[in-house]
Amino acid sequence: MNHSNYKTGFDQRIEPWDFSSLHNVGHTLTETAERMPDYLAVAAPRLPGSAAARILRRLTGKNQSQTAQPLPFDTITFGALEKLSNAYANGLRDSGVEKGNRIALMVPPGIQFVACVFALFKTGATIILIDPGMGRDNLVKCLSEANPEGVVGSRLAHSARMIYRRWFPNCKKNFVVGGSFPGCKSMSKFEKSADKEFAPIEMDREDSAAIIFTTGSTGPPKGVHYRHRIFLEQSRQIRDWFDVRPGTVDVSGFPLFALFNSAMGSATVFPDMDPTRPADIFPPNLIHAVETFGADQSFGSPALWNTVSRYCADNDRKLPTIKRILSAGAPVPPHVLKRIKSVIADDGDAWTPYGATESLPVACISATEVLNETAEQSAQGAGTCVGQKFPDMTWNLIPISDDPIPSIDQTTFLPQGEIGELIVQGAVVTDKYLTRGDANADHKVADGEKFWHRMGDVGYFDAEGRFWFCGRKSHRLETETGPMFTVPCESIINSHPSVYRSALVGSGKTGQQVPVIFAELWPEKNPSNETEKAALIQELKDLAGQHWQTDAIKHFAIHDKLPVDIRHNSKIFREKMRPLADQIINQ
């Protein structure tokens, strides 16, 4: 699957298109293909072909090439991608996939992944999307709760489905990508009808499009209900905020961003990497992807860009074609933003969109604004500024509470400067969880015919109307002297030159919690003996004592590697550190 005669780059004659008349997000690809059929749509590394080779790479953890010889790319144009997705959609529909069927998609990032996503959208099926790296137990449990009626997946995915088949009693409509598998229809056989048009089915923007699971960083992963309207609005708002022009080439370190790229007329280039381990990316692979296609944009987690920007800085490598970096999933440290700015185009910038699976995007800020205006305040314990809200978003702060709030008239809005819980309302805000439905009462607040979503984040608004993130509500400490918030405290500790990141964790009962700081160091800064370790801990204590936010912290520990989420490798699982905090306090 290789289309070498493709175009890339902006064409001023191609104007961005209007999504308002579309009812099915799958048709955004159709719109793109009609306007720019010969432009690059997707490029993906050509992985070793044998099943044995692929399994060996997976079992050894080497899901990315770390050799001097980079892998070649397979490519496809928008016109060909539209034909492929239509062939898949026709095959799926002819095989019994109907509007409303819940179909799990478990295909590795690549051309087939993107084609399958849009094919399933076109059929009206509800796609179940789960991070494969969330761990076996969580993956099986989430899939079981979503109750799929079928799977479109790789042979490895279907092998797992068979092993755990008792968890999926209704999984009857199964399709395999790449070869054959017993009891499954082969998607490759559908490709024979690639020239056949797909007759659109009647859809409404409010119809179900997908179930996307949260990372589970503050509790069990929840299945978020995405309607077609949500995807269409997200695509429009992202395009308009960042002025994404048709012909943009994006190197994507997060596979789902390919959906927005295709809708906006941007090419997606998948680098050779394990998407479940972005922090472990082999930087030359991403650099190779950027240089091969002259990419001007890249999306990746803070952990990915920390790894890549350090490599570029240490090896005097530049990414001069990159004009825009998008990084999300957790606060991006200022030192990472500074390094990113130093390796991309002189007139380029990095942006850190803020939001959640339930509501994205909410706000955004540029690296330039962070480095020039807010980074110094963050280092002094002000929190992390995530910027101004998107134009179509409404937000407010309410008093922090762990109890459900059935109606908005049962709470109050807080003034500027006061820390509270963020609530949001807007066209990209999802209305419910389809799994873990008991969580709806904790996260949704009725407001007449509308509703608010409780983000679960705490912070405050400044005089410019920007939101300063102070951490997750569930991560706050309730001590004898009052609440302590994670991000302001950790930002102070992170300002020490030896500290890569840190975690504030509480030990004890609510209202009597004792704070403990766990510090993960830069690899080259690890102490070589106990004397050096003791001296470093004393430096951290002295640093904490200089700030009112942290002067009550008396317990510090060096930790080799803090536990983080699978999706972005950036959100710290502070709950997993509590047993260690208890040991420190009780020893």
The H-or-E segment that residue 261 falls in is: helix 257-264
| Alpha-carbon distance values, 18 to 32, 41, 91, 262, 498 (Å) | 11, 19, 29, 14, 49
Q: Tell me, what DSSP letter sits at residue 517?
A: E
Are 498 and 395 members of one domain?
no
Pair of tokens at residue 261: 């790229």
Smallest CA-to-CA distance from 234 within 262, 199, 198 is with 262
Q: CB–CB of 316/66 below 8 Å?
A: no
Q: Which of 417, 442, 471 is the last residue of a domain?
A: 471
Are 446 and 509 members of one domain?
no
| CATH label of the domain that carries residue 525 | 3.30.300.30
**Cα 2 to chain center, whole Å?**
29
The pLDDT value recorded for residue 164 is: 92
Are 144 and 85 members of one domain?
yes
Are 458 and 506 members of one domain?
no
Exposed (0-12), middle (13-18) or buried (19+): which is 457, by Cβ within 10 Å?
buried
Question: Where are any strands of DSSP class E within 4-117?
Answer: 40-45, 73-77, 102-106
Are 489 and 460 members of one domain?
no
> For residue 361, is the peptide bond before it cis, meaning its omega torsion is within 30 degrees of 0?
yes
| Alpha-carbon distance values, 193 to 76, 90, 125, 307, 412 (Å) | 17, 8, 20, 43, 59
The pLDDT value recorded for residue 53 is: 46
Q: Which of 220, 244, 268 is the last residue of a domain?
A: 244
Are 408 and 457 members of one domain?
yes
Rounded CA-CA distance 472/462 in Å is: 19
Smallest CA-to-CA distance from 562 within 578, 586, 545 is with 578
Q: Which amino acid is at 236?
A: R
Are 436 and 517 members of one domain?
no
The pLDDT value recorded for residue 61 is: 47
Pair of tokens at residue 379: 């280092």
Rounded CA-CA distance 515/555 in Å is: 7
| CATH label of the domain that carries residue 387 | 2.30.38.10
Neighbouring residues of 161: CB distance < 8 A, sequence distance ≥ 6: 151, 153, 168, 171, 174
The pLDDT value recorded for residue 55 is: 44
The pLDDT value recorded for residue 56 is: 44
The DSSP code sequence of 345-398 is -TT-EEE--EEETTEEEEEE-BHHHIIIIIHHHHHTT--EEEEEEPTT-EEEEE
Which residue range forms the structural domain that includes residue 84? 27-51+73-244
Pair of tokens at residue 556: 């510090």
Are 466 and 550 members of one domain?
no
- At residue 60, φ and ψ (nearest 5 deg) are -85, -5
Are 486 and 391 members of one domain?
no
Number of domains in the chain: 3
The DSSP code sequence of 422-468 is EEEESTTB---BSSSGGGHHHHEEEETTEEEEEEEEEEEE-TTS-EE
The pLDDT value recorded for residue 54 is: 45
Q: Can you list the pairs that 462-466 forms with residues at least 24 positions away whose Cβ atoms lie under 8 Å? A: 462/385, 462/416, 462/417, 463/416, 464/388, 465/388, 465/389, 466/363, 466/365, 466/385, 466/386, 466/387, 466/388
Are 484 and 455 members of one domain?
no
In a domain, 458, yes or no: yes
In a domain, 522, yes or no: yes
Are 430 and 502 members of one domain?
no
In a domain, 328, yes or no: no
In a domain, 389, yes or no: yes
In a domain, 426, yes or no: yes
In a domain, 184, yes or no: yes
The H-or-E segment that residue 557 falls in is: strand 555-558
Are 461 and 488 members of one domain?
no
Q: Which of 244, 274, 292 is the last residue of a domain?
A: 244
| Alpha-carbon distance values, 225 to 67, 103, 354, 358, 432 (Å) | 41, 14, 19, 8, 6
In a domain, 177, yes or no: yes
Low-confidence ranges of the chain (pLDDT < 50): 50-65
In a domain, 564, yes or no: yes
